[in-house]
Homo-oligomer: A and B are copies of this chain.
Amino acid sequence: MPNISKKGVAMPLSPIRKLVPYAEKAKKEGVKVFHLNIGQPDIKTPKIALNAIKNSNLDVLKYSRSEGSETYRRKLSQYYRRNDIEIDADNIIITTGGSEALLFTFGSIMDLGDEVIIPEPFYANYNGFSIAQGVTVIPILSEIDSNFSLPSISNFEALITPKTKAILICNPGNPTGYLYSKDEIRELAILVKKHDLFLIADEVYREFTYDGLEHFSIMQQEGIESNAIIIDSVSKRYSMCGARIGCIVTRNKSVLNTALKFAQARLSPPTYGLIASEAALETPTNYFNEVINEYVKRRNILVEELNKIDGVIVAIPNGAFYCIAELPVSDTDDFAQWMLEKFRLNNQTIMVAPAAGFYSTKGLGKNQVRIAYVLNKEDLKTSVAILKAAITEYNSQC
């Protein structure tokens, strides 16, 4: 039998995937499982986007343009301008989700063995994309005590080698919920200019900022026109993860021309997703106001309730819809599985994402979990009550 590839062996399994069979077993036994583990919002997709699909009148479901239609990219550039990001349609390449935007970006700027520095904990699939591309992730630790703020620039500099090609941040962060400040972005800008690196920012949670804080994009930072590359997506913005539409935004023409070659090889992004995404740009502002209000309430309840549990430390999230919590247990992989397999409160349990999968450094994050507040407020309260009772019972058994 012919062998599979070394990188295929090295590709990580999703940190949640191994828990899925336990969750399914629990459900089969009639147990209600609250999913705090996923990034699939329960928020409704704007009607205007769904209606555009229902009213579409195609005879032939054709390829779209490899880089996305001129019309959509022009309207999208206007969306960015409304967000004080001054770019043109030509600065955008439409991709199949943020995932493909990252894939094309990595492919366009890095060869085998090149290095990308990423503050950890980070979105687990950055690992998968890196391995698939033969790129080495160099993690730099951000800490729960500072809500996972930007590590110091001197710590970054200590990690830069001749192989370093880029720094990748997620802002606001999955899994941390941290929103980088204008100052932090400026510091990063000086750093990448000094060392001639790319600065990649995954800004798919741009709209989800709380407490009056405003998102500051790397594209608003002057002086890094050749360095800055945004990864973006409609998935979270309009709660339409299934559209699979994202984009690369950059002022660097070499990157755009190169990414276009990758885009041409895969022909086109999904046509229906494009129709929905173009229509979604007309979503009324009050949609976002309502969504943000809802998330703030959820976050407040979550943080408040978690803080009531002895030994739990929560990083306060100012953005996105995740938080990292440190639990008084030694191995959250085991604990998460145990809750699904063994623990029930009124025939209910919860599924959380063990945080070790969000760290690249072995051994880190073992007492942390990522909690997505994508459930309604009542369910969130119940979920934290379950967590509290589970911690007590789990620790009493040891």
- List A residues at the B interface (Cβ < 8 Å): 1-9, 11-14, 17, 40-45, 49-50, 53-56, 58-64, 96-97, 99-100, 103, 107-112, 114, 125, 128-129, 132, 134, 165-166, 196-198, 226-227, 239-244, 252, 254-255, 258, 261-262, 264-273, 276
Contact = CB atoms under 8 A, between A and B. Distances in A.
Contacts of A165: 2
6 contacts: A2-B197, A61-B241, A96-B270, A97-B267, A99-B266, A128-B265
Contact of A61 (B9, B14, B50, B254): B50
Residue of A100, A239, A244, A255 ringed by the most chain B CB atoms within 10 A: A244
A177 to B, nearest CB: 20
A212 to B, nearest CB: 28
B60 A44 contact: yes
A199 to B, nearest CB: 9
Copies held by the complex: 2
A11 B265 contact: yes
A66 to B, nearest CB: 8
Nearest to A9: B258
Contacts of A44: 59-60
Nearest to A42: B60
A374 to B, nearest CB: 11
Contacts of A272: 53, 242-243, 270, 272-273, 276
B241 A63 contact: yes
A242 B227 CA distance: 33
A240 B268 CA distance: 12
Contacts of A4: 108-109, 254-255, 258
Contacts of A270: 96, 242-244, 270, 272-273
A13 B242 CA distance: 30
A45 B1 CA distance: 40
Nearest to A265: B128
B244 A96 contact: yes
Contact of A17 (B99, B264, B269): B264
A128 B267 CA distance: 11
Contacts of A244: 96, 244, 268-271
Contacts of A240: 60-61
Nearest to A128: B265
A8 B128 contact: no
B1 A252 contact: yes
B60 A107 contact: no
Contacts of A166: 2
Contacts of A267: 97, 99, 125, 241
Contacts of A60: 41-45, 239-240
A197 B3 CA distance: 9
A272 B166 CA distance: 35
Contact of A262 (B2, B11, B273): B11
A251 to B, nearest CB: 11
A40 B198 CA distance: 37
8 nearest A-B pairs in the assembled complex, by CB-CB distance: A242-B271, A128-B265, A272-B272, A270-B270, A8-B258, A61-B240, A11-B261, A99-B266
